[in-house]
């Protein structure tokens, strides 16, 4: 129900950051050192000895990925930074020490994408050179994972359709949203008003202090990239370097955000179907009529679920598929056209959309960081407008955040413009045809930040710090190691 839209992207970003394809450089971003080279690195910095943290091997849990080689600890932070001497809470952090302490540069704080994704144990995106020279730091933001996790319902009400078409559908959406939001207020109401991106940025500075570092290096995708920009705006002198992968535009208006994503999603589906129509080798070629075949599959699911796959989940699976390989989505739709919905169902199950704990925590941030609609009528009107520009996805995107209609805490005001005055060069990496995080957002943020260097990846990948580009990987790693950012106007493939 509420929150599907961005929670799905959490899974997409993790996938997008793991596999890198070979690419050719167009405009050279910077001269890159040979693979594995560290000769251009700054002078090695020893691990600070003033840290008060009591590191211990991380315990295996359902929250974390493989934590082999990771140490865990916690940092005490104020619940309310307006009253820093009041109630305190614990934020969980993890550290993978630099593999070669003699070449250690410092601490690299990494957050995969957006809450509720933990980054403790999640260093697979980085190559051996980075892991050799940096202590990799992960953490669970407040309200997430093992950091005072928000808790609502153990099992969320299921919804059959992506958005309400009838009065009965609307009643089901309202009942589900109210059930979740009442439970959130009962179980975590004390914490909800103190979530949000700025409080996490302030927690991050407490983490920096606890690590004993004067400056930290930051890397994050999407929401986490925006978090790093907010941190640089609040604490510019505490940043050594920062690389932001496809950041959200801070303070963006709710409708402007959804409009941009609706247009991008609709364009991605249209491109996919047009390509399949002209490619006889596409598994969903459908005699050159994939649009008609697609509509037939979805119409069948509108009337009745198929082997445990609801219409709502089928649309989410398609949306997820558009951010992966076209061939995978084509196979899934071809199977569905013949009555086999197993591949689409696996895509939804893998995404974590049925994980109630993750969705609780996602909603807790989503409803706080953006001024979502607070009445059912606001969602109905928004859906009507978005469906005009994105007939396939507009309704689903509008109602993806319907839980915010009854959310028990008011949204936080987020600055619409950042400057990070005095911060060192900040690198923003963005794929030009990103189907989910519009390229224009990265362009605008690069204009706001005087020290920003925008690296454009000429692809339709979901934007991450590497964006599935070996060229981008070389440029970003070179910057992290040497502090030399890509040249203005650089691009990669």
* Residue 173 predicted with pLDDT over 50: yes
Does residue 385 fall inside a structural domain? yes
Residues 220 and 287 in one domain: no
| 73, 81, 163, 368 from 207: Cα distances, Å | 10, 15, 41, 22
Q: Residue 28: its pLDDT value, please?
A: 35
Does residue 391 fall inside a structural domain? yes
Continuous H helices in 279-373 = 290-303, 311-321, 326-337, 342-351, 356-369
State CA 482 to chain mean position distance.
Answer: 27
Q: Residue 349: its pLDDT value, please?
A: 84
Q: Residue 61: its pLDDT value, please?
A: 65
Arithmetic mean of pLDDT, 53-58 = 92
Does residue 334 fall inside a structural domain? yes
Residues 103 and 247 in one domain: yes
Sheet holding 71-78, edge to edge: 56-57, 71-78, 88-96, 134-139, 106-111, 216-221, 239-245, 426-431, 452-457, 491-492
* Half-sphere exposure (Cβ direction) of 379: Cα atoms closer than 13 Å: 26
Measured between alpha carbons, how far is 226 from 238 in angstroms, rounded to an integer? 16
Q: Residue 38: its pLDDT value, please?
A: 36
- Residue range(s) defining the domain that contains residue 453: 29-150+192-251+415-492
Residues 331 and 402 in one domain: yes
Q: Residue 348: its pLDDT value, please?
A: 86
Mean pLDDT of the chain: 86
DSSP classification of residue 490: -
* Residue 318 predicted with pLDDT over 90: yes
Identify which has the larger pLDDT, 332 or 306: 332
Of 354, 380, 406, the residue that ends a domain is 406
Extended beta strands in 233-282, E state: 239-245
Does residue 299 fall inside a structural domain? yes
Residues 75 and 52 in one domain: yes
Identify which has the larger pLDDT, 367 or 105: 105
State CA 4 to chain mean position distance.
Answer: 12
Which CATH number fits the domain that encloses residue 467? 3.40.50.1820
pLDDT-based confidence at residue 229 (cuts at 50, 70, 90)? very high
* SS3 (DSSP) at 92: strand
* Residue 254 predicted with pLDDT over 70: yes
pLDDT-based confidence at residue 216 (cuts at 50, 70, 90)? very high
Q: Residue 3: its pLDDT value, please?
A: 34
Does residue 182 fall inside a structural domain? no
Q: Residue 261: its pLDDT value, please?
A: 85
Q: Residue 111: its pLDDT value, please?
A: 87
* Residue 193 predicted with pLDDT over 80: yes
Asked if the peptide bond before residue 116 counts as cis, ω within 30 degrees of 0, the response is: yes
Of 406, 441, 459, the residue that ends a domain is 406
Does residue 221 fall inside a structural domain? yes
Residues 45 and 143 in one domain: yes
Of 356, 379, 406, the residue that ends a domain is 406
DSSP conformation letters of 4-48? HHHHHHHHHHHHHTT--B---BSS--SPPPPTT--TTPPPP-PPP
Does residue 164 fall inside a structural domain? no
Other C-beta atoms lying within 10 Å of the C-beta of residue 227: 27
* Residue 19 predicted with pLDDT over 60: no
Q: Indicate left, alpha or beta for 429 from its phi (over 0: left) and psi (-120 to 50: alpha).
A: beta
Residues 6+ apart with CB under 8 A from 361: 115, 116, 143, 144, 145, 149, 150
Residues 438 and 301 in one domain: no
* Residue 357 predicted with pLDDT over 80: no
Q: Indicate left, alpha or beta for 160 from its phi (over 0: left) and psi (-120 to 50: alpha).
A: alpha
Residues 6+ apart with CB under 8 A from 243: 218, 219, 426, 427, 428, 429, 465, 476, 479, 480
Identify which has the larger pLDDT, 136 or 145: 136
Residues 6+ apart with CB under 8 A from 317: 309, 332, 344, 345, 347, 348
pLDDT-based confidence at residue 82 (cuts at 50, 70, 90)? very high
Measured between alpha carbons, how far is 180 from 363 in angstroms, rounded to an integer? 10
Structurally, the chain folds into a number of domains equal to 2
Residues 388 and 420 in one domain: no
Q: What angle do CA 47, 453, 9 make, to 5 degrees?
A: 80
- Of 46-55, 256-265, 334-343, 433-442, least confident by mean pLDDT is 46-55
Measured between alpha carbons, how far is 421 from 418 in angstroms, rounded to an integer? 9
* SS3 (DSSP) at 392: coil
Residues 237 and 290 in one domain: no
Residues 110 and 59 in one domain: yes
Continuous H helices in 123-253 = 128-133, 167-188, 197-211, 223-234
* Residue 26 predicted with pLDDT over 80: no
Closest by alpha carbon to 300, among 249, 350, 338, 243? 338
Residues 97 and 35 in one domain: yes
Residues 400 and 481 in one domain: no
- Of 287-291, 362-366, 463-467, 476-480, least confident by mean pLDDT is 362-366
Residues 201 and 89 in one domain: yes
User: Per-residue pLDDT tens for 94-127?
Assistant: 999 999 999 999 999 998 776 667 888 888 899 9
Q: Residue 6: its pLDDT value, please?
A: 35
* Residue 45 predicted with pLDDT over 80: no
Does residue 285 fall inside a structural domain? yes
Arithmetic mean of pLDDT, 458-470 = 92
Measured between alpha carbons, how far is 164 from 167 in angstroms, rounded to an integer? 7
């Amino acid at each position: 129900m509420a929150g599907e839209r961005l929670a799905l992207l959490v899974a997409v970003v993790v996938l997008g950051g793991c596999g890198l394809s070979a690419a050719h450089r167009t405009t050279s971003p910077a001269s890159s050192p040979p693979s594995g080279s560290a000769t251009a690195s700054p002078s090695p910095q020893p691990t600070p000895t003033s840290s008060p943290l009591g590191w211990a091997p991380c315990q295996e849990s359902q929250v974390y990925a493989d934590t082999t080689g990771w140490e865990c600890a916690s940092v005490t932070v104020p619940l309310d930074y307006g009253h820093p001497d009041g109630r305190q809470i614990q934020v969980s952090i993890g550290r993978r020490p630099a593999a070669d302490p003699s070449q250690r540069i410092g601490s690299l704080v990494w957050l995969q994408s957006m809450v509720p994704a933990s980054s403790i144990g999640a260093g697979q995106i980085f190559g051996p050179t980075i892991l050799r020279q940096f202590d990799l730091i992960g953490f669970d933001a407040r309200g997430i994972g093992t950091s005072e996790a928000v808790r609502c319902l153990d099992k969320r009400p299921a919804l059959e359709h992506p958005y309400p078409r009838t009065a009965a559908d609307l009643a089901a959406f309202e009942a589900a949203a109210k059930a979740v939001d009442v439970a959130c207020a009962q179980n975590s109401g004390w914490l909800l008003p103190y979530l949000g991106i700025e409080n996490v940025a302030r927690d991050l500075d407490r983490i920096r202090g606890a690590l004993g570092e004067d400056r930290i290096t930051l890397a994050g995708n999407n929401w986490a990239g925006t978090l790093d920009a907010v941190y640089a705006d609040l604490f510019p002198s505490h940043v050594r370097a920062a690389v932001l992968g496809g950041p959200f535009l801070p303070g963006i208006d709710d409708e402007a955000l959804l409009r941009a994503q609706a247009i991008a999603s609709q364009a991605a589906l249209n491109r996919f179907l047009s390509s399949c129509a002209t490619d006889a080798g596409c598994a969903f070629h459908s005699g050159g009529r994939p649009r008609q075949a697609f509509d037939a599959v979805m119409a069948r699911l509108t009337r009745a679920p198929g082997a445990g796959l609801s219409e709502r989940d089928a649309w989410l699976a398609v949306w997820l598929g558009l951010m992966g390989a076209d061939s995978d989505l084509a196979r899934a739709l071809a199977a569905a056209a013949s009555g086999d919905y197993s591949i689409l169902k696996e895509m939804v199950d893998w995404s974590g959309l049925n994980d109630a704990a993750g969705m609780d925590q996602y909603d807790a941030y989503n409803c706080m960081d953006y001024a979502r609609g607070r009445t059912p009528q606001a969602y109905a009107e928004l859906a009507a407008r978005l469906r005009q520009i994105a007939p396939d996805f507009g309704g689903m995107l509008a109602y993806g955040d319907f839980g915010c209609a009854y959310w028990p805490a008011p949204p936080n005001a987020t600055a619409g413009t950042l400057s990070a005055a005095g911060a060192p060069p900040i690198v923003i990496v963005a794929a030009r045809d990103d189907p989910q995080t519009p390229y224009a957002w990265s362009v605008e943020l690069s204009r706001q930040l005087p020290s920003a260097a925008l690296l454009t990846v000429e692809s339709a990948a979901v934007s991450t710090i590497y964006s599935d580009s070996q060229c981008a990987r070389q440029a970003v790693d070179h910057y992290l190691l040497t502090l030399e950012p890509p040249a203005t106007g650089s691009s990669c493939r």
